[in-house]
Amino acid sequence: MNAPDPMRVLIVDDNELASELLSEFITLLGHRVSVAGSGEQAMEKSAQENPDIVIVDIILPDLDGYELAARLRKQREAPPRIVALSGLPKSMQREQNGMFDAWLEKPVDLAVLENMLAQTAQKRSF
């Protein structure tokens, strides 16, 4: 079986160091990564780059991650896979009503992230 093509991944987080480290890790896995520091910037990059997966921090300077996920789902007919990234404890999570395809807690377990990306890439290759 051939390896799946690299995915386009958009990381949305206003913490520059965190997004830089996450970007480096995902790039090492062979994917193409771009970073946005706000919800509005993420909407622009998503429209331009058509990412396969968007990793969204919940607390952003302009929109919260829930609002951003809702907008991303409306932006394209076939929306990207949207993954929440949060430092909030599970007890503080709002009802998400299917806005997110997965939820990662900070600090991110890199093995879990790698597995999730591999599964998404495999599904995409069929």
In the CATH hierarchy, which fold is given to the domain comprising 8-124?
Rossmann fold (3.40.50)
Number of neighbouring beta carbons within 10 Å of residue 4:
17
pLDDT at 92: 61
pLDDT at 90: 61
In this predicted structure, the answer to whether residue 36 has a pLDDT above a threshold of 90 is yes
pLDDT in tens, 107-126: 899 999 999 999 988 887 65
User: With contact defined as beta carbons under 8 Å apart, do 37 and 19 qualify?
Assistant: yes
Taking the domains of the chain in order of start, what are their residue ranges? 8-124
In this predicted structure, the answer to whether residue 1 has a pLDDT above a threshold of 50 is no
In this predicted structure, the answer to whether residue 66 has a pLDDT above a threshold of 50 is yes
**E strand or H helix that includes residue 82:** strand 81-86
Residue 44: left (phi > 0), alpha (psi -120 to 50), or beta?
A: alpha
pLDDT at 3: 56
pLDDT in tens, 69-108: 999 999 988 899 999 998 876 666 666 667 898 889 888 9
